[in-house]
Amino acid sequence: MDLKAIARGKLSLEAIPGERRAQVIGGSAAGLAVLVVVLLLVLTTCGGGSGDAGADQQVGKEASETPSKAVVSIAPKDGADGVATNDALKVTAAKGKLTKVEVADSKGEPVKGEIAEDGTSWEPDSHLTTDTKYTVDAVARDSEGRETTERSTFTTLTPKNKFIGHFTPDDGDKVGAGMPVSINFDRAIKDRDAVEEAISVTAEPEVDVEGHWFGDQRLDFRPEEYWAAGTKVTLELDLNGVESADGVYGTQKKSVEFTVGRKQVSVVDAKKKTMTVTRDGKKIKTLPITSGSPSNPTYNGKMVISERLKVTRMDGRTVGFGRDEGSGGYDIKDVPHAMRLSTSGTFIHGNYWTAQSQFGQANLSHGCVGLFDAKGGGDPGTPGAWFFNHSIVGDVVEIKNSKDETIQPDNGLNGWNMDWDKWTAEQ
């Protein structure tokens, strides 16, 4: 018997054979109860289930069509031009929380930043670059999980006034253990903190490296002690977009890497008139020298070789002396194997005009350290030639026991003469 058909009205009791119909109609109460239950189940399954599913679909459809309550705001406004590179970009959300913020320049380079813990704001980690178009894409979600998206584009300002930093050493250089990173700016820097924050110097193996300002146009970086041999140093200049003074912006974005080749320190004893050369902790040579005379003594202190010249002219007028010997001056057109130790004119160099017997015996110079050499510098066997050929920019010459004062730390690349506490003190 098809009870479902009966329940749906598609099969009447008359259609049931007489014997079965009698069983259904005249049967026991239990049989009738079974029939009633079956009919109720069929009606419930076929009618009620279908209606509930339709209602659920309708509710889901209405929910999906309800707009998100979250509101995303992007500053600067879409299409803005001449936007400042600092403190102008910010993304906020109201009645919801930010879930994604992506900012990139026209080349696809991303701008790093973080969404605040409460999800209501996002700011970049650092300044933007000048004359650059940026695109901002932001997504926020309300309490019901519904999303709001916003996109904005803007262009940063093109500065009329710019500054750059001239740095040493150069990318790829191999230098001595005393070489600092020195940056000389072509304009006075008023906001030193902003500029210094945009410059980093790191080393491998890792060592603490700190910067120190000498005036408002020079910034040097060094570790507490001389670099270890083999150290790899990286200078990152992220100055493009940094405002150093009102309306003056940096334009540099550059990475520079150099290597410390070895640790060579040469100690000049002005009293003993000797120089002892030590490399990586091992003494390799002691040479006789002549240093500054009693009337023109050589500076004491730690000095870094900043320049090497196989032959150069030395004119006393450039450092406050005359040209002729009678007035205590000099003008030597072919000084061999000269290496600069200070900006003010201190060199360690070859000397062919003084008798070889005087080296190690008398201090006769105008303040430089002299090593016996041949005119023209062509003899590789002289002390002057040997030291020149075994020195590189960044090597250290330490002078002691002279009658003069200690050299100033900004006179050349000689910041090693400043105590570390003073070097790192707030300026």
Q: Position 72: which residue type?
A: V
Tell me which residue of 187, 194, 247 sits closest to 218, measured CA to CA: 187
Kindly tell me if the per-residue pLDDT of 68 is higher than 70.
yes
Torsion sign over Cα 276, 277, 279, 285: negative
- Give the 3-state secondary structure of residue 144: coil
- Give the 3-state secondary structure of residue 413: coil
Kindly tell me if the per-residue pLDDT of 248 is higher than 80.
yes
Mean pLDDT score, 118-147: 97
Domains of the chain: 3-65 (no CATH), 71-156 (2.60.40.3780), 161-262 (2.60.40.3710), 264-417 (2.40.440.10)
- Assess whether the previous peptide bond of 205 is cis (omega < 30° from 0): yes
Tell me, what's the pLDDT at 317? 72
Tell me, what's the pLDDT at 427? 87
Report CA 205 to chain centroid distance, whole Å.
17
CB 422 within 8 A of CB 214: no
C-alpha to C-alpha distance for 17 and 32, rounded to whole angstroms: 17
CB 164 within 8 A of CB 138: no
Rounded-to-10 torsion of CA 356, 359, 360, 362: 120
Tell me, what's the pLDDT at 325? 55
Is 349 catalytic? The answer is yes
C-alpha to C-alpha distance for 106 and 152, rounded to whole angstroms: 13
* pLDDT band at 326; cut points 50, 70, 90: low
Kindly tell me if the per-residue pLDDT of 42 is higher than 90.
no
* pLDDT band at 329; cut points 50, 70, 90: confident
Instruction: Output the CA angle 158-161-163, nearest 5 degrees.
Output: 105
CB 341 within 8 A of CB 303: yes
Name the helix (H) or strand (E) containing 126: none
CB 97 within 8 A of CB 140: yes
* pLDDT band at 36; cut points 50, 70, 90: very low
The overall average pLDDT reported for the chain is: 88
Give tens-digit pLDDT for 355-377: 999 999 999 999 999 999 999 99
- Cβ neighbors of 43 (< 8 A, separation 6 or more) are 7
* pLDDT band at 353; cut points 50, 70, 90: very high
Q: Say which of 127, 337, 349, 366 is annotated catalytic.
A: 349
Mean pLDDT score, 323-336: 75
Tell me, what's the pLDDT at 50? 42
- Give, in order, the Cα–Cα distances in Å from 210 to each of 166, 223, 262, 423, 426: 18, 6, 21, 8, 11
* pLDDT band at 40; cut points 50, 70, 90: very low
First and final C-alpha spacing in the chain? 102
- Cβ neighbors of 378 (< 8 A, separation 6 or more) are none
Range scoring the smallest mean pLDDT among 49-58, 106-115, 252-261: 49-58
C-alpha to C-alpha distance for 212 and 224, rounded to whole angstroms: 12
Kindly tell me if the per-residue pLDDT of 416 is higher than 50.
yes
CB 397 within 8 A of CB 291: no
- Read off φ and ψ for residue 221, nearest 5 degrees: -125, 140
